[in-house]
Structure 1
Amino acid sequence: MRIRIGFDMTYETPAVCPLICLLNVHQRQSAQLEQPDYLRTEPAVPLHTYTDGFGNLCTRLVAPPGRIRITSDAVFHAARAYDPVNSSAIQHEVADLPPDTLEFLLGSRYCETDLLSNEAWRLFGSTAPGWARVQAICDFVHNHIHFGYDKADPTRTAAQAYAQGIGVCRDYTHLAIAFARGLNIPARYCSGYISDVGLPKPYAEQDFCAWMEVYLGGRWWVFDPRNNAPRMGRILMSQGRDAADVPLVHFFGQNAVRDFRVWVDELPD
């Protein structure tokens, strides 16, 4: 299926301000784009791209004082299929994990495994290791946190989300990641688009979304504690240890959001 994806964001800065954007489709899915999802700015400024240590495509630019608009519009070809499920996927012993998964066992800025490991074992230690254990984490987090855009807090950590019981998709994801890592399951943070294909109307207003991938049975699998159900049209933009590694836009100075729109719409074949 063909999915139109994109965004239109306007920020205001009081002075010249460098920034980094992680707003492109991740390179492991970029071949599914009909054309490159170039970023455009108004006013036009030089754009420089590079790939970070997590394989994310990053764009550097310098915003002039005043308003800067950042946009992109592209078409993505996605399989008409839900996120794969494998209930028999096993949990690996730490000694058997590939080296490149080990950093996703460690605590990070928003996922305090040192504060939550004992609680993870108390809540989930009796569950069967592997897929069932991760699903138990997602079920718990999905029911424990009350979602609301008015509950968003860019500095809330996993431990705070657990204590407060409120948040947005990044908080669900941080808490589930922290629990998984506390149980010796590699887990990484993902950001991107999720379509409403397959869901009943009316659709909610579109936004970027966060979910996690966990390493089970020799590969990474998608788990989404916010929605807690397989979805169609999930499109990865960036991945890292937590949201600190993958900000949509990172400003090196003061800024304010003036407009923010996202679209993820199925198109006729």
Structure 2
Amino acid sequence: PDPQVPSAEQHAIAELPNDVLTFLMASRYCASDNLVKDAWDLFGQTPEGWQRVEAITQFVHDHVTFGYQFGRANKTASEVFREKTGVCRDFAHLSIALCRAMNIPARYASGYLGDIGVPYYGAGDFCAWFEVYLGGRWYTFDARYNTPRAGRILMVRGADAADVAMITSFGNHQLEYFRVWTDELEDGLDDAVILEMLQTRPGGEALVFPSSAREA
């Protein structure tokens, strides 16, 4: 599951590594400079570090209503804050913007999130969450679900979704097929067992059909 370290401290800006400083800056979808007053009004009295990030995560989780009908490609953190609706990337963008407004380095992360350890609610989708730099390392937070999760499959990280778009299209397109399976593996499984699992889909379907397999 996502590591939980309540003792993780917030760094003074002068102590941050050079490659982390960029994640304090406003970005296309996370214009943190537009939310500075709101952020300090909401979280200025919270303890710095982990507890402040938890407070931001809880706020976004409660403040924003999830729904695919609320998503749009150019929606910004400020618009999410005002409209109080969005998809997972909007939860992440607002959280990132509020963290940066409080001088906490934050970056966007995206990938797959299965249903390991939680009830099955049907087929999943691409998922976005965010990471913050505390105590000398990056930690995962997820304002949409607001609970530690296991089995995240990270694909990309960036300042926001403009850095690491799920799809970049130069014309009309239609997604016809998309499936991802995640399974929790027991420690000590034999390599042959793992290989067999990787070679077949649930139900015994081949992952790569012979007609499309590349010959060695």
For the 8 Å contact 1:191–1:209, the answer to whether it is kept is yes
Q: Which residue of the partner structure matches residue 235 of structure 1?
A: 153
Amino acid across the alignment from 1:154:
A
Amino acid across the alignment from 2:153:
I
Q: Which residue of the partner structure matches residue 142 of structure 2?
A: 224
State how far apart, in whole Å, the 2-side matches of 1:230 and 1:223 are. 8
Q: Which residue of the partner structure matches residue 250 of structure 1?
A: 168
TM-score, normalised by the number of residues in structure 1: 0.67
Q: Which consecutive unaligned segments of at least 5 residues does structure 2 have? A: 187-216
What is the DSSP-based 3-state SS (H/G/I as helix, E as strand, rest coil) of the residue aligned with 1:171? helix
For the 8 Å contact 2:151–2:182, the answer to whether it is kept is no
What is the DSSP-based 3-state SS (H/G/I as helix, E as strand, rest coil) of the residue aligned with 2:93? helix
Amino acid across the alignment from 1:113:
S
For the aligned residues, what is the CA RMSD?
1.3
CA gap of 1:108–1:268, structure 2 versus 1, over 3 A, is: closer
Runs (4 or more) in structure 1 with deviation over 3 Å come to: none
For the 8 Å contact 1:206–1:264, the answer to whether it is kept is no
User: Is structure 2 residue 178 aligned with structure 1 residue 265?
Assistant: no
Q: Which residue of the partner structure matches residue 33 of structure 2?
A: 114
State how far apart, in whole Å, the 2-side matches of 1:158 and 1:230 are. 23
What is the DSSP-based 3-state SS (H/G/I as helix, E as strand, rest coil) of the residue aligned with 2:128? strand
Amino acid across the alignment from 2:179:
V
State how far apart, in whole Å, the 1-side matches of 2:26 and 2:44 are. 19
What is the DSSP-based 3-state SS (H/G/I as helix, E as strand, rest coil) of the residue aligned with 2:138? strand
TM-score, normalised by the number of residues in structure 2: 0.83
What is the DSSP-based 3-state SS (H/G/I as helix, E as strand, rest coil) of the residue aligned with 1:84? coil
State how far apart, in whole Å, the 2-side matches of 1:125 and 1:260 are. 46
State how far apart, in whole Å, the 2-side matches of 1:211 and 1:166 are. 16
Greater relative contact order (Cα < 8 A, sep 6+)? 1
Q: Which residue of the partner structure matches residue 113 of structure 2?
A: 194
**Offset at 1:267?**
6.4
Q: Which consecutive unaligned segments of at least 5 residues does structure 1 have? A: 1-81
